[in-house]
Amino acid sequence: MINRTLAPDFGQVENIELIEASPIILGNGLKIFCIEGGEQDLVRIEFIFENINYNVSKPLQAYAANTMLTEGTSELTSSEIADKIDYYGAFLQTDYSNDQSGVTLYSLNKHLSSTLPIVKAILTDSIFPEVELDTLIRNQKQKLSVNLEKNDFLSRKVFNNVMFGNSIYGYDTRAEDYDKLTRHQLKEYFKLAYQPKNCTVIISGKATDIASKIVDELFGSAWEEVGEVSPNGFSFTTGVGAEHYIEKGDAIQSAIRLGKVAINRSHTDFAGMQVLNTILGGYFGSRLMANIREDKGYTYGIGSALVSMKNAGYFFIASEVGADVCSSALDEIYKEVNILKQEPVSTEELSLVRNYMLGSMLGSLENAMSHADKFKNIYFSGLGYDYYQKYIETVRTINPEALLGLANKYFNTETFEKVIVGKK
């Protein structure tokens, strides 16, 4: 008979190998990186542009210019673009984030010579038709009105705004901001931002050498430079911390979001903070989950995260909890944060978290596209692959005293912004 009470032997994750990106720079300044891998005959090609010239009087300019790239060129209507992409079984999406805007194409290799020219058309010749802009404005305002009824959405919006003010990271979008959008604004932004010098192409999947040749043929010479661009730059400081309560009389759950401006990936404490965050709220077995969900049953889920952006980083804890237990849940959250500041993590818990994080890192490298995502993390933070060596080293070796030090350095709950939407 086997003894089922004894866990089988296990090993630590020894080797984590990243497929490194190989760079190509074209004559017009366009940078291409290829990450080769996979059995399926397909590639993902991302065209990524830094967000530029942020202007608070036109807060949705970059977003709308990005979203409307698929809405028409001088030769193709919105409907023709969609039809061609769908016909070739490809996927074309626009991606907008705080720091970058982009277009991503997923295509079978055999159709690249049909699908990539469409990408070229939208990146070099978008015309932002008035009628399509009207549709965007109309529908986005409707969506916003629905989202504003969601406590979790509201809490995120308020939290970002109290930390980052009216910068692109924190701007509190209102329905009337959509009405301020004009075709002229979008064309102006398109001309400046969507040019080769401001673009990074990342190709991942199979036969990326062939894909990069097609990119070169299409974009290498025919895409003209317009001039220098200045990517957005901001600086932020941690606020003093305050409570921001939005009462919703009929709420049966309250959305909680707590946290503050912290560090981003380029800071030497970042990897250690990721270990500390994992212990607190970064995985299913975390202290917040163990206490607030698995012991008290106050919530369906609670978590914390460290977010790295180009010009800032921040730390937050978020949950949706029963309205009747909101203040008890807050007490328990503070209790867990304070324990991390007062008591060293046990070696047993720390070894579990080390193994979990290494396994999770290994599992996050599923295919060439995930390797490309790892590359983007470092590339857009101005870091090299040694970042991952250091990260793995930190996960393996950081000691309880160092974690205690980080908790005291970064987890001053007095300075946390505390957002509660619902009832408390």
Partner 1 sequence: MVSFDRFTLANGLKVLVHEDPTTPMAVVNILYDVGARDEDPKQTGFAHLFEHLMFGGSVNIPSYDEPLQRVGGENNAFTSNDITNYYITLPAVNLETAFWLESDRMLNLAFSEKSLEVQRNVVSEEFKQRYLNQPYGDVWLKLRPLAYKKHPYQWATIGKSLKHIEDASIDDVKRFFSRHYNPSNAIMVVGGNVKLDEVKRLSEKWFGNIPAVEKSARKLPAEDMQIEERKETINANVPLDAIYKVFHMPARTDQAYYAVDLISDILSRGNSSRLFRNLLKDQKLFSEINAYLTGSLDGGLFVLEGKPLPGVSMETAETAIWTELERLKDEDVPDHELTKVKNKMESTMVFSEMSLLDKAMNLAYFELLGDADQLNSETSKYLEVTASEIREQAKRIFRKENSSTLYYLAN
Using CB under 8 A, which residues numbered 253 to 312 contact partner 1? 253, 283-285, 293-300
Minimal distance, residue 303 CB to partner 1, in Å: 14
Q: Which residues contact 106 (CB under 8 A, 6 or more apart)?
A: 42, 43, 44, 90, 91, 92
Minimal distance, residue 19 CB to partner 1, in Å: 12
Nearer to partner 1, 75 or 300 (CB): 300
Q: Which residues contact 156 (CB under 8 A, 6 or more apart)?
A: 257, 318
Helix axes 326-342, 400-410, angle to 10 degrees: 130
Among 20, 130, 138, 191, binds partner 1 (CB under 8 A): 138
DSSP lists the bridge partners of residue 403 as none
Cα–Cα distance between 343 and 220 in angstroms, integer?
58
- Pairing outcome for strands 31-36 and 42-50: unpaired
Size of the residue set binding partner 1 (CB under 8 A): 74
Among 139, 342, 389, 408, binds partner 1 (CB under 8 A): 139
Nearer to partner 1, 13 or 24 (CB): 13
Among 27, 57, 149, 268, binds partner 1 (CB under 8 A): 149
Site for partner 1 in 169-208 (CB under 8 A): none
Site for partner 1 in 358-397 (CB under 8 A): 358-360, 362-363, 366-367, 369
Nearer to partner 1, 183 or 296 (CB): 296
Minimal distance, residue 278 CB to partner 1, in Å: 10
Whats the size of the chain, residue-wise?
424
DSSP lists the bridge partners of residue 47 as 103, 201
SS3 content of the chain, % helix, strand, coil (to 5): 45, 20, 35
Q: Is 5 in the site for partner 1 (CB under 8 A)?
A: yes
Nearer to partner 1, 149 or 224 (CB): 149
Cα–Cα distance between 120 and 405 in angstroms, integer?
51
Minimal distance, residue 141 CB to partner 1, in Å: 8
Cα–Cα distance between 151 and 146 in angstroms, integer?
11
Q: Is 321 in the site for partner 1 (CB under 8 A)?
A: yes
Q: Is 135 in the site for partner 1 (CB under 8 A)?
A: yes
Cα–Cα distance between 309 and 316 in angstroms, integer?
14
Degrees to nearest 5, angle at CA 351 with 348 and 354: 150
Contacts with partner 1, 30-59, as mask; x by CB under 8 A: --------xxxxx-----------------
Site for partner 1 in 72-101 (CB under 8 A): 78-79, 81-83, 85-90
* The token pair that represents 179 in the structure block: 């009405």
Minimal distance, residue 142 CB to partner 1, in Å: 4
